[in-house]
Amino acid sequence: MRFLVKAEVSLKRGHFDPEGDVASKSLRDLGFSVGTVRVSKAYTIEVDARDPTEAKALAEEMCRKLLANPTKDDFMVEVLVIEGRTA
Amino acid sequence: MRFLVKAEVSLKRGHFDPEGDVASKSLRDLGFSVGTVRVSKAYTIEVDARDPTEAKALAEEMCRKLLANPTKDDFMVEVLVIEGRTA
């Protein structure tokens, strides 16, 4: 079965996020009253798996092996869609 | 009041996503059975607003004015946290 999973990779708490800092400053320059901004990356992945549990485990493995940098990133995985149905 | 909002900016459907294509190829090279991969960017923003409705409206305005490129990006906004409480 084919699943749609989402893996969100974000900087660990405490890590400096220059892109977020620039976004925060730019938003304030535009007049928005904002504090900290953090930027993360989300991968929406079509993956073949037997069931949602396996799809989630595979996406976590993808994060560990490729998508996330273990020294500086956290990741969170969710199963979005199972062959056209919302999970 | 201070809110935590999340603005996810993704390429409109049909737009070429080279970063996603590279991720897909790399995952297949590692042995994962994956199809299309799409990459989007998520901004987690602390924003001052009167209520969740205003917080969401402000984040949408931030996307229109700065975070999203109207010619190629879609965006989706959700309110995550209201002063320490989950929305």
For A8-63, the pLDDT digits (tens) are 999 998 899 999 999 999 999 999 999 999 999 999 999 999 999 999 999 999 99
CB contact (8 A) between residue A44 and residue B33: no
pLDDT bin (cut points 50, 70, 90) of residue B83 is confident
Give residue A84's pLDDT. Answer: 61
Instruction: Decide if pLDDT at A87 tops 70.
Output: no
DSSP secondary-structure letter at B87? -
Highest CATH level, class, for B2-86: alpha beta
Residue of A nearest to B67 (CA): A23
Question: CA B6, CA A23: separation in Å to the nearest integer?
Answer: 13
CB contact (8 A) between residue B47 and residue A41: no
DSSP secondary-structure letter at B12? P
Count CB-CB contacts under 10 A for residue A78.
Answer: 14
Give residue B67's pLDDT. Answer: 98
Rounded to 5 degrees, φ, ψ at B17 are: -120, 85
List pLDDT tens digits, range B22-81. 999 999 999 999 999 999 999 999 999 999 999 999 999 999 999 999 999 999 999 988
CB contact (8 A) between residue A66 and residue B40: no
B28: Cβ–Cβ under 8 A, 6 or more apart, which residues? Answer: B34
ipTM of the complex: 0.88
CB contact (8 A) between residue B42 and residue A8: yes
Residue B60: its chain A contacts at CB < 8 A?
A: none
Give residue A45's pLDDT. Answer: 97
Assess contact for B32 and A45: CB atoms under 8 A. Answer: no
DSSP secondary-structure letter at A11? E
Question: CA A22, CA A33: separation in Å to the nearest integer?
Answer: 14
